[in-house]
Structure 1
Amino acid sequence: MLKRLCAILATTVLAAPLAFGVARASETEELAPFKMIRSLQYVQDSVVLGDHSAIEMQRFMLGEIDKRLRAADEAIFRDPRNVDAALVYVMSGGNPETLEYLTDRDIEGNFDARVTDSLRQYLRGKGPLIVESLSKAAPEYKNSRVGPYLFLILGNASSQQDPVAAMRYYDWARLTAPGTIIEEAALRRSVSLAVQAGDQEKGFRYALNYARRYLTSPYASQFADVFVDLAVAHFDEAVEKRVAEILGFMDQARQREVYLRVARRAAIAGNETLARLASGRAEELARAGGGQSLLLASFYEGLAAVPSEDVFTAAQTLAAIPDDKLSPRDRALREAARAIAEEVVRRPQDESPAQASLPIPETPPGPETEGREAGETGSGMSPFADATHTSPSEKAPAPGGEPPTGAEHPAASDPAVDGFVANGRSKIKEIDALLAEEGL
């Protein structure tokens, strides 16, 4: 790749000195900024297409362009190509202070104040404030060199306020700059916005396009995170096929990593079906590699089984995994799941005489027992599902509509029962605090 880069740099007047990575100051100063920007764009596009060795060259080019722009005479910006080069430099990770320096010295009005003011606001972290002004100015640059960059910035700025509009801006950016770092960023961020907007169809289309082209990008791990969100949020049989299609572009190691992430997210969300499916797929892929991936797949499957009828087996599986095999976040998850499992299977202690003397009701089960027969946990305290239990003072009437009988009141006000309920609620608060500390 470096040989090809050297050839390009040589044709743009940089010649031999820069071909070896060391350019003399006098030669660099004579090089027009727009010619240097072409080389920077080539380097950046090479990085997202998989040539990670070009990252150092990218840093070098950014430094050299910064020096050239600051040393340039004002007359050089009478050429619109050099104005565009300065804007592209700043939007490509360049020094924001250089834009301030250039616009402060621009007495001839070569820079569009609408664009430069918007960029300065954006680079200060005030993106939402520029949406109105930049959305009016950007269409004028649709067919210019800076057009794709401006629409990418506009998409970033409007993504929180209006995800649907942001996706349209990203679409324009990537369609006018195919095969570039602009398209890579637009596709990756569009997947995330599709999740926010609940647009499953667009999300999987963007994800498929990204998987076909940019899995070797250094930013592909960010894509994997948002792809997992997409899969978990819209899982069904049809989605399973689409997930498999997209993962087909990855090698086995990457497929296994994605399935493990899906299993973990699904287990936390209480989606037992997806957690079991993803864990099973990860186990199949891990058998060849074995080791840590196989253990994690078993771990997430155990987490998913806690709120099910297999709670005993799940608790044993989780307890058998050594602490040193899990990350701190996964250890916190295990402790939370273990506490839940203990609450599910533990019998109430210290039965009061009033409870022991109560007859076993022969009436049809009420709402509380119906929830247990439907597969919910016996205590109704699992964070993997909605807790809908009622307190003793809010006991629901029987299915027939009759109010509670007088015999039920002693149990409702019994200190032992109240103590058991209070202990259960306290345990849940401890679990919630543990999960909050780990950011789960």
Structure 2
Amino acid sequence: MTRLRVPAGRIGISLCLAICLAFPAVAADENNGQAAPPAEATASADSHGGPTGPTNVIEPLPVMPHGLPVELVRTLQLLQDRIARGSTQAHLAQRQLLTHIERKLIESEPETWADVANLRAAVAFGLAGGGPGVLRHILATGQVTEAETPLAQGALAYLEGREKDARAKLGGIDARTMPASLSGQLALTQSALLVRDAPIRSLELLDLARLLAPGTLVEEGALRRQIFVVAQGGSAARFEALSIQYLRRFRRSVYAGNFRQRFAAALTRLNFDNDRTRVASLERMLEEIEPESRRDLYLLVARAALEQGRRETALFAAERAAGLAGSDIHAAAQARLYQGAALIVAEGRFEEGREALRGLDRAALAAGDLELLDAALSAANQIRGPLPSVIEPPATEAPPRRAVPEPPAIGRARDALARAERALAP
């Protein structure tokens, strides 16, 4: 692995801290957790472990020196790659490092940004979480070359939320022509700009981002996004393949919690009642993680399914979680709660569900689950509670009839009729 030459005097304490966090992990990963052996020891031992005679010194290949922006951004990316592997220390150090790099880039001489490598490093910094401030400053210097202006302006538009401008500027740039430090990040950005209007092209760009930046936080983010784009209506087989890949390679990522929440929501769209193939597919996906995490994921699926009114999915996931709860009373109570809430609306299993809910220990449930328990018990009482007695309305006396005044014409007609009758009388 090529070691970066970082000028400690120019970088400062916070960056040195980040380097200390980043490099030991890389060395350990490459040697299965063991410290890398000194180069001298390796060179002085033969295949049998004994000393050897003088060896020819191998001159390193010439490496083009990079400016400070390139070195700073590369250090940031090394730190972020540790985040993808699950380092909470790296995640906590990231904000401090971002602030430090932003200050150093803004303090750089304006001529710095006439160098294409430095400018592209600044774009990578902005897209990797650095925000728009640095790019605004760089464009204001007037030092960005004409050829690189669309890249800088497009990245700034994206960071400022001007998606239409960002698509216009970045749409014509081929990410494969960018350096490794920027190419994957750029493809990831281009994908985000197209996900609503052109989901197929967005998926292609996510594939490209993963190809250009394997093993990095960029690949972790691209794979996570790809799973949920596919879940909106893509191939079930591809959803399964991508999910297994994420669970195998990035399940310890700091962002895996976000993945699990959205993954559970995506799974609730599947019908586990009649399609045993989907049941087998889900079980294959979750076999990639340890039993405790598998149990927690089943609980997430069950809760999400209840919230979406998918009874069979909730029941299936709750039963699987109950089987993995073991001696964990909190997980067992959660599984029993979700199972009971699903059963009270299942045909022929109402009593089973109500008894399960009534037998729960409230002390074993979190606040959110207590609210669900109370709602489920209330629903059960409404489903099978006593009918209210019929109350007769109180008897009331009929109001007195109101005399209607007789019109004058009727009185005159009655008098005329009486006179006629008298005239006809014998």
TM-score (norm 2): 0.71
Per the alignment, residue 311 of structure 1 pairs with 350
| Pair 1:149-2:142 in alignment | no
Per the alignment, residue 96 of structure 1 pairs with 132
RMSD: 3.0
Q: Which runs of 5+ in 1 are unaligned?
A: 25-29, 354-440
1:178-193 to 2 correspondences below 5 Å: 178-193=214-229
Asked whether the equivalents of residues 74 and 181 of structure 2 are also in contact (C-alpha less than 8 Å), the reply is: no
Q: 1:298 aligns with which of 328, 336, 340?
A: 336
1:20-419 to 2 correspondences below 5 Å: 32-109=68-145, 112-127=148-163, 130-138=166-174, 141=177, 145-235=181-271, 236-287=275-326, 289-308=327-346, 309-346=348-385, 348-350=387-389
Quick check: which has more Rg, 1 or 2?
Answer: 2
In structure 2, do the counterparts of structure 1 residues 158 and 323 end up closer, same or farther at CA, with 3 Å as the change threshold?
A: farther
| Pair 1:12-2:5 in alignment | yes
Asked whether the equivalents of residues 302 and 317 of structure 2 are also in contact (C-alpha less than 8 Å), the reply is: yes
Per the alignment, residue 41 of structure 2 pairs with none
Percent same amino acid at aligned positions?
A: 24
Distance 1:23 1:228 in 2: 39
Question: What letter corresponds to residue 370 of structure 2 in structure 1?
Answer: R
Question: What letter corresponds to residue 301 of structure 1 in structure 2?
Answer: Q
Distance 1:208 1:23 in 2: 36
In structure 2, do the counterparts of structure 1 residues 229 and 14 end up closer, same or farther at CA, with 3 Å as the change threshold?
A: same
Distance 1:195 1:128 in 2: 26
In structure 2, do the counterparts of structure 1 residues 140 and 282 end up closer, same or farther at CA, with 3 Å as the change threshold?
A: closer
Q: State the SS of the aligned residue for 1:321.
A: coil
Distance 1:47 1:163 in 2: 28
Question: What letter corresponds to residue 299 of structure 1 in structure 2?
Answer: L
Q: CA deviation at 1:141?
A: 3.9
Question: What letter corresponds to residue 278 of structure 1 in structure 2?
Answer: A
Q: CA deviation at 1:86?
A: 0.5
| CA displacement 1:87-131 (0-9 Å, x = unmatched) | 011111114211101111124536733223322222223436533
Q: State the SS of the aligned residue for 1:307.
A: coil
Per the alignment, residue 422 of structure 2 pairs with none
Q: CA deviation at 1:242?
A: 2.3
Distance 1:108 1:350 in 2: 83
The alignment covers a number of residue pairs equal to: 340
Q: State the SS of the aligned residue for 1:197.
A: coil
Q: CA deviation at 1:210?
A: 0.7
TM-score (norm 1): 0.69
Per the alignment, residue 366 of structure 1 pairs with none
In structure 2, do the counterparts of structure 1 residues 188 and 12 end up closer, same or farther at CA, with 3 Å as the change threshold?
A: same
In structure 2, do the counterparts of structure 1 residues 23 and 206 end up closer, same or farther at CA, with 3 Å as the change threshold?
A: closer
Q: CA deviation at 1:290?
A: 1.8
In structure 2, do the counterparts of structure 1 residues 176 and 108 end up closer, same or farther at CA, with 3 Å as the change threshold?
A: closer
Question: What letter corresponds to residue 294 of structure 1 in structure 2?
Answer: A
| CA displacement 1:212-259 (0-9 Å, x = unmatched) | 111110000111122212322124322222222222222222111101
In structure 2, do the counterparts of structure 1 residues 262 and 108 end up closer, same or farther at CA, with 3 Å as the change threshold?
A: closer
Question: What letter corresponds to residue 240 of structure 2 in structure 1?
Answer: F
Q: Which runs of 5+ in 2 are unaligned?
A: 18-65, 393-426
Distance 1:352 1:141 in 2: 82
Distance 1:140 1:47 in 2: 25
Question: What letter corresponds to residue 374 of structure 2 in structure 1?
Answer: E
Question: What letter corresponds to residue 156 of structure 1 in structure 2?
Answer: A
Q: State the SS of the aligned residue for 1:61.
A: helix
Question: What letter corresponds to residue 332 of structure 1 in structure 2?
Answer: E
Distance 2:356 2:209 in 1: 49
Q: State the SS of the aligned residue for 1:125.
A: coil
Distance 2:11 2:108 in 1: 19
In structure 2, do the counterparts of structure 1 residues 67 and 268 end up closer, same or farther at CA, with 3 Å as the change threshold?
A: closer
Q: State the SS of the aligned residue for 2:345.
A: coil
Distance 1:59 1:111 in 2: 32
In structure 2, do the counterparts of structure 1 residues 22 and 130 end up closer, same or farther at CA, with 3 Å as the change threshold?
A: closer
In structure 2, do the counterparts of structure 1 residues 302 and 251 end up closer, same or farther at CA, with 3 Å as the change threshold?
A: same
Asked whether the equivalents of residues 340 and 354 of structure 2 are also in contact (C-alpha less than 8 Å), the reply is: yes
Asked whether the equivalents of residues 141 and 147 of structure 1 are also in contact (C-alpha less than 8 Å), the reply is: yes
Question: What letter corresponds to residue 292 of structure 1 in structure 2?
Answer: H
